[in-house]
Amino acid sequence: MSQDKYTVETITDVRPWTDSLFSFRTTRDRGYRFTPGQFARIGVRAHEDEAKDPLKSIVWRAYSIASAAHDEHLEFFSVVVPGGQFTSRLSKLKAGDELFVERKSYGFLTTDRFEAGRDLWMLATGTGLAPFLSILHDFHTWESYDNLILVQSVRTQQELAYEDLIRGFESSEYYAEFAHKLRYARIVTREPVPGALRDRVTKLLANGVLEENVGLKLDHDRSRIMLCGNPEMVEDSRRILVERGYRVSRRGDPGHLAVENYW
């Protein structure tokens, strides 16, 4: 990739959630623009000793942006893929290290894919939560919908990253007036957690328990649904919803569904 296509940023903070789950922040170029829900392409050096030809040694991956469009920094949420070249390098980076960010942002998991609805459903597994955090920090989202439903599915309680932030909208100076619109359903699939659902989101969608738990019915006129995370979850949920008459948004043809696979 030629040098004018990306900027060199600095990692400002790394936050581990579990042994294999972490978030990190970087500086943000003043010219970097994105729509909440989109992803960035970020690059790390593959080898420390490649100073001779640094351009060739950068490895690139897509990462959904977790931070708000108005934040001065960029934030990302990552797993360490066992044996993965990129994430194992990424997870070793620390504040002060450099990281590359392509100038262009990507992706269609954005609310502008929909015609106005009343309820925005955001279904995430694992690190697929990231784009929804950005969307939830967009005031336009809160103003446009009566209800925002965030469903976060993880394997263990410890993986319920960002729970405090999500619950914190209520006491936030800027979001408190809207926070009553948020319904937050946690799914923890591999251990019992009080107040959390236990079954996979696909099962809970198919048998109606998710709607019951959230206290809202899915409805063609009201509901706009976003899916992000494990590709099988995205595919299976999409199929369940398409069978119930929900349509995926296409360019110039807004529907009810927007999806992003995560790997």
For ligand NAP, the closer CB: 58 or 81: 81
For ligand NAP, the closer CB: 138 or 236: 236
Which residue in 144, 207, 139 sits closest to 173, CA to CA? 139
Residue 70: both structure tokens together = 């108005």
The binding site for ligand NAP (CB under 6 A) comprises: 79, 81-82, 125-127, 153-155, 187, 189-190, 200-202, 229-230, 232-233, 236, 262-263
For ligand NAP, the closer CB: 136 or 196: 196
Residue 49: both structure tokens together = 């000793």
Residue 235: both structure tokens together = 């595919």
For ligand NAP, the closer CB: 28 or 200: 200
For ligand NAP, the closer CB: 81 or 182: 81
CB of 156: closest distance to ligand NAP in angstroms? 9
Q: How many CB atoms lie within 10 A of CB 5?
A: 11
CB of 116: closest distance to ligand NAP in angstroms? 29
CB of 62: closest distance to ligand NAP in angstroms? 8
Contacts 24+ apart (CB under 8 A), 244-250: 244/218, 245/220, 246/218, 246/220, 249/108, 249/113, 249/114
CB of 204: closest distance to ligand NAP in angstroms? 9
CB of 151: closest distance to ligand NAP in angstroms? 11
CB of 263: closest distance to ligand NAP in angstroms? 3
Q: How many CB atoms lie within 10 A of CB 26?
A: 25
Do 96 and 9 contact (CB within 8 A), yes or no?
no
Phi and psi at residue 153, to the nearest 5°: -110, 125
For ligand NAP, the closer CB: 90 or 135: 90
